[in-house]
Structure 1
Amino acid sequence: MFALASVGASSALAADGESIIRDRCLGCHVETGESATPFSRISEQRKTPEGWLMAISRMQQQRGLVITPEEKRTLVKYLADTQGLAPAETRELRYVLEKQPNVTESFEPWLQDTCVRCHSGARIGLQRRTEEDWKWLVHFHMGQQPTAELHAGARDRAWFDIALNQVAPKLGQVYGLNTQEWSDWQAADKQSLSGRWVMSGYLPEKGQFDATVHISELGNDKYSVTMDGQYADGTPLTGKGSGIVYTSYDWRGAVTINGVKMRQVLAASEDGQSLNGRMFKRDDDVLGGQVTAIKGAGITAVSPSYIRQGERKLLTISGNKLNGSVHLGAGVKVVSVVSRDDNRVVVVAEASQRAESGHREVRVGKLSSEMPLAVYDQLARVDITPSDSIARVGGGGGALAKQKSWYRAVGYAAGADGKPGTEDDIRLGYMPASWSLKPFDEIAEHDGDIKYAGTIDDRGIFTPGDAGPNPERKMSTNNVGNLTVTGTVHDGNQVVSGDSHLLVTVQKFVRALID
């Protein structure tokens, strides 16, 4: 996934990338003669692979750039490798690369009010530019979108003056071209990721899974991938595909798992021993989940992650090189080992009736889990994630597919203060739930949103209604709606519910690689 190409191959790639810039880009850009920034408006920027792909595509669409698909792939690879972002520079913003749905951002007001009103803050934060180039970007906005000053949130202030003279200098400081993180990453030793890995994760339609992943290097940072594992219900998982790594750590994979085409966006740790990110459906990126893979010994998952006082429960510990005795912490004992191999240990665990509520470290031999096991007395509350979400109508004979949403229930026990809903609460983890919908407010009830906006299944996956006018609705309006999603957890004799807000809205007609 992330092994560097040989020196010869890297040199050839660099030569090819520079040649493509000279052959295809210098009709508009100029060669400066400066070693640090040799190409104007190109060398003053650093971006993710997606960022560079968007920039080149924009040049094709708006400036008439003529470039072959192979040249385009080569140029994206070259620019991402030589003018990319270090792991530390993408770490807090990877949600937008991983296509995580329904993320709520929070940025400083100076950025929120000026830039984030139109697109995500992550799109800005995943770039590095000189202060001069940030100013050029402001000018570009005015030239390309001259009505920018007339939008809501801009026409009540001197937007252009603020963006150019106040925001751009701050961007040059916060997201400047030359950073210590980038210098450190360029100098760091890069580790090969070829070999055998174990991966754990969750997919909405199938649940928790574990798999052995074999990665074989093909050259020039391209790889073949095979996967072999199982879901929690015992269903086999098999897959194969390919991948490419950018900037010596940033993995983009395409795999077919049990006949379903999937995408992977993963980041390798700096020591090359772990991979973390998201895997999702190629044609429906909402339907995906977080995955973790490790190359060395370690624990990747404990499922389920909770046990009630006095309860006996089946626990599965996933990981790599799981050798030695299993320890579940004070007050929790292993009654029996149901099955075990190098990557998976299934045990019957029992929590004492007097076990203290709180988190326990799970250990197998000398290995310990970063994901604790929670012991609790009773379920105090249930939160539904995401707490606010958007789904979009689609289909109905139109070209755009429906955009679904999906939900999980997170259980909590009251902490030492005995009051649920405080910072002292004990997070138990994801719990099985039953799902239902209801109108969000009186207007939604009056308009019959519950009838038309969509349905939710027993996996927590919401499917919106068809796009287009609906003659059954008032004024033949479409199937938008304002709903509440309710997840109900049955835990012993307890029944506890939580709610989430869902807005079902119209199609999204413009979708960018980075919104």
Structure 2
Amino acid sequence: MKRAAYLGSAVALLSISGTALAADGLQIIKKNCLSCHTETGNSDAPFSRISEQRKTPEGWMTTLYRMKTQRGLNISPEEEQVLIKYLSDTQGLAPSETLAQRYILERTPNKVEEVDPAYAEMCTRCHSGARFGMQRRTQGEWEKLVHFHMGQYPTIEYHALARDRAWFDIALNDVAPKLAADYPFKAQAWDDWAAKPKSDLTGNWMMSGYLPEKGDFSAQLSVIKEADDRYVLLVNGTYADGSKLNGSGSAKVFTGYEWRASLIIDGQALKQVLATDEQGIRMSGRMFVKGSDEIGGAITAVKAGSSPAIAAVSPTYVKQGSTQTLVITGANLDQPLSFGEGLDAKVVSQASDHIVVQVKAGADAPVGMRTLSIGSARVEDAIAVFDKLARVDITPNDSIARIGGNGGLIPKQKAVYRAIGYAAGADGKPGTEDDLKLGYMPASWSLKPFDQVAEEDHDLKYAGKIDARGIFTPGDAGLNPERRMSANNVGNLTVVGTVTEGEQMLSGNAHLMVTVQDYVRSLIQ
């Protein structure tokens, strides 16, 4: 299946007929799955294997995809979507169980994981830690997973980090019990969440976020209930440059909090992967371009209710002795506001969902973080007061872009960069843990060879270009007769972001490896 179509169907899961919605997930399992699985007679775990696992919606979709492509499962698209919904709702993950690894669901690019050494040696040499971290299984099911790997990939014991040890024995006797302890099927968090009443998300939400091609934005998201856990969406808002934002779409909610939406905004197809909080009044996650999930950014939405709620503040810094114009978005914001010690606020415009305010910091305003208060709403560390820009970091610090296109089926995979400013902390030394984070700052962008080999191979000429928005577009796929030995357009580059703050100009660097296409794509790699 093509990558764009696979990911699109995975995130949306929306077009379900009324007949299929009424179908019973249990009956779908009995109709389609019992040629391989069996009924156990145990009401707590009615089906062998199936009832001994818990997964995210993407995890269950991955399982069904494997069943169809490798095990001959024949199931209609409508039934498949109902089954994914049923399994996600009844055998999903609680919000607290997904917190540490939501980046894999949100398709966050260039994420560097921190993995337990026991898993790094045995598991993550082939796939991410989130692949197994976003599952819950009984110990018997974790053991069966080891056997599955041996049967499906019989050369696994001869790979690096396997052939120098008794891989199968370690995986079965050491790693499987550890997985069962770290990611148990039975968990109080899931029992509590499954019993908790779920929120209806209908209403008006104030959404704030960032899209690399357009910048910061704020918008009203109108959520209109169509059926249980299914919503129609209308979006109206403004980008930071003043241009308008309009769109519509649809969303579906799994497990009571997993929001998956498809939208068309200003003619562009976008996907949302968000999680609601347990009260159903705040959502956060990521929105990205359909088929190019690296082109996206974080978004936050708060529901309009009776109390004030703050979604976002932009920018998040003000310099001593200067005035900064800030935009605050949220709900019920037409109340008095305060930024704390040493800051004077002059409101330029104020509405229930949007405030423009000029904040002046005194020349002797204490350096540090400030709390924003609007009525009863408070955001700790909302604004940084700083004296001098001390350093600039580029995010992501290490990244990959992939050549593509040029008549091939696999498109280019771009990379997106942003600059984060810091002031020196109380110790006065930049580059320490004590530094004061100011937040994202405007930057100019350039590239240079990463090392001498990259310079000799002219990687800067062939590997790709970066634009004024910090979006890197790699070169074309295929052989390049202009390069030594007709090599393709891979390269090893340094991304340079330069921030101008008053009379200061400071730069930060990031490493970019431009490499070949990714021919193996999955929902959770």
TM-score > 0.5, shorter chain as reference: yes
Match of 2:161, as an amino acid?
G
- Map of 1:400-419 to 2, 5 A cutoff? 400-419=410-429
Are 2:269 and 1:258 aligned?
no
In the TM superposition, residue 324 of structure 1 has moved relative to its aligned partner by 2.2
> Match of 1:76, SS?
helix
Query: After alignment, is 290-299 or 269-278 more displaced?
Result: 290-299
> Match of 2:431, SS?
coil
CA contact (8 A) 2:389 2:501 kept: yes
Are 2:177 and 1:169 aligned?
yes
In the TM superposition, residue 325 of structure 1 has moved relative to its aligned partner by 2.4
Aligned CA RMSD, in angstroms, stands at 1.4
Instruction: Quote the residue 2:462 is aligned against.
Output: 452
In the TM superposition, residue 17 of structure 1 has moved relative to its aligned partner by 1.1
In the TM superposition, residue 371 of structure 1 has moved relative to its aligned partner by 4.8
Match of 2:329, as an amino acid?
S
> Match of 1:118, SS?
coil
Instruction: Quote the residue 1:4 is aligned against.
Output: none
In percent, how many aligned pairs have the same letter?
58
- Map of 1:165-244 to 2, 5 A cutoff? 165-244=173-252
In the TM superposition, residue 211 of structure 1 has moved relative to its aligned partner by 0.8
> Match of 1:40, SS?
coil
Match of 2:39 among 31, 43, 52: 31
In the TM superposition, residue 323 of structure 1 has moved relative to its aligned partner by 2.0
Query: After alignment, is 381-390 or 148-157 more displaced?
Result: 148-157
Are 2:473 and 1:473 aligned?
no
> How many residues are matched?
505
> Match of 2:200, SS?
coil
Structure 1 length normalisation: TM-score?
0.96
Match of 2:66 among 53, 58, 62: 58
Cα offsets for 1:110-154 (capped at 9, x unmatched): 111101110010010110111001111110111111111111111
CA contact (8 A) 2:494 2:511 kept: yes
> Match of 1:383, SS?
strand
In the TM superposition, residue 365 of structure 1 has moved relative to its aligned partner by 3.0
Structure-2 separation of matches of 1:109 and 1:283:
33
Match of 1:383 among 393, 405, 408: 393
In the TM superposition, residue 13 of structure 1 has moved relative to its aligned partner by 6.3
CA contact (8 A) 2:206 2:353 kept: yes
Match of 1:352 among 336, 347, 362: 362
Are 2:292 and 1:281 aligned?
no
In the TM superposition, residue 369 of structure 1 has moved relative to its aligned partner by 2.2
In the TM superposition, residue 15 of structure 1 has moved relative to its aligned partner by 6.1
Instruction: Quote the residue 1:72 is aligned against.
Output: 80
Instruction: Quote the residue 2:300 is aligned against.
Output: 292
Match of 2:521, as an amino acid?
R
> Match of 2:102, SS?
helix
> Match of 1:43, SS?
helix
In the TM superposition, residue 220 of structure 1 has moved relative to its aligned partner by 3.0
Are 2:245 and 1:245 aligned?
no
Structure 2 length normalisation: TM-score?
0.94
Are 2:383 and 1:373 aligned?
yes
In the TM superposition, residue 239 of structure 1 has moved relative to its aligned partner by 1.2
Are 2:319 and 1:308 aligned?
yes
Structure-1 separation of matches of 2:490 and 2:380:
42
Structure-2 separation of matches of 1:102 and 1:449:
21
In the TM superposition, residue 327 of structure 1 has moved relative to its aligned partner by 1.7
Structure-1 separation of matches of 2:92 and 2:263:
25
Structure-1 separation of matches of 2:46 and 2:487:
55
- Map of 1:5-16 to 2, 5 A cutoff? 16=24
- Map of 1:12-23 to 2, 5 A cutoff? 16-23=24-31
Cα offsets for 1:186-218 (capped at 9, x unmatched): 111222111111111111111111111111111
Instruction: Quote the residue 1:135 is aligned against.
Output: 143
> Match of 2:177, SS?
helix
Runs of 4+ in 1 over 4 A off after TM superposition: 12-15
Structure-2 separation of matches of 1:425 and 1:477:
43
In the TM superposition, residue 337 of structure 1 has moved relative to its aligned partner by 2.3
CA contact (8 A) 1:488 1:496 kept: yes
Cα offsets for 1:126-183 (capped at 9, x unmatched): 1011100111111011111111111111111111111011100111111111101111
CA contact (8 A) 1:298 1:369 kept: no
Cα offsets for 1:413-439 (capped at 9, x unmatched): 011111111111111000000000000
Match of 1:464 among 474, 484, 490: 474
Structure-2 separation of matches of 1:292 and 1:124:
27
In the TM superposition, residue 18 of structure 1 has moved relative to its aligned partner by 1.2
Instruction: Quote the residue 2:408 is aligned against.
Output: 398
Structure-1 separation of matches of 2:523 and 2:260:
13
Structure-1 separation of matches of 2:481 and 2:388:
49
Match of 1:509, as an amino acid?
Y
- Map of 1:313-328 to 2, 5 A cutoff? 313-328=324-339
